[in-house]
Amino acid sequence: MIAEMTEEKLISAIYLENDLLISFYDESKKIAGDRWQVVLKAIIQIVTDQVQFTKMDPEKRLEILQVVGKQINYEKKLVRNFIDEKEKEKIIKDMYESFLQITRPYFSHGQFAERFVLKNYADSLEKRKWVNS
């Protein structure tokens, strides 16, 4: 038995209150008979040189941008397994609506992009320490 290839299908793209764009994709795939693995992927692309850092000198900002790169993505996948084909569309719609309702205030926060970039910067530095030791 061979599972079908996953094909990304854009469900929705929404500009948040902080001008970030969140895109939702259906990456579901048929796994056996009439059963599906239902996958909802959310992505927020952050162009790092457009992020407004608060209370930061230009040299530190440049260092951060060099470490994290020109663009970083927040990505989250929600997965439900062994879903009946008849329920697939309802499940993906419910996952989308629930995820957006719960996370929108967090992602729309004025400092989300800045904090996400700084977290990626800190993670990159930590990874470098680990690799170099």
Band (128; pLDDT cuts 50, 70, 90): confident
| In a domain? residue 28 | yes
Q: In the prediction, which pLDDT does 7 show?
A: 74
- The per-residue pLDDT for range 14-49, each reduced to its tens digit, is 999 999 999 999 999 999 999 999 999 999 999 999
Answer yes or no: is 22 within a domain. yes
Answer whether residue 33 is part of any domain.
yes
14 domain residue, yes or no: yes
3-state secondary structure of 92: helix
What is the residue range of 94's domain? Answer: 9-132
Q: Determine which helix (DSSP H) or strand (DSSP E) holds 35, and give its type and residue range.
A: strand 35-47
Is 1 domain-assigned?
no
State percent of the chain over pLDDT 70. 95
The contacts of residue 118 (CB under 8 Å, 6+ apart) are 64
Average pLDDT along the chain: 93
Helix or strand or coil: residue 17?
Answer: coil
Q: How far is residue 61 CA from its own chain's centroid?
A: 23
Q: What pLDDT does residue 131 have?
A: 78
Binned at pLDDT 50, 70 and 90, residue 107 comes out as very high
Evaluate whether residue 4 is within a structural domain: no
pLDDT for 2 beyond 80 = no
In a domain, 82, yes or no: yes
Q: Is residue 21 part of a domain?
A: yes
If you average pLDDT over residues 52-68, what whole number do you get? 93
Q: Which stretch of DSSP H or E encloses residue 15?
A: strand 9-15
Per-residue pLDDT tens digits for 70-80: 999 999 999 99
| Total of domains in the chain | 1
Structure tokens at 49: 């040189």
pLDDT at site 6 = 63
* pLDDT > 90 fraction of the chain, expressed in percent and rounded: 86
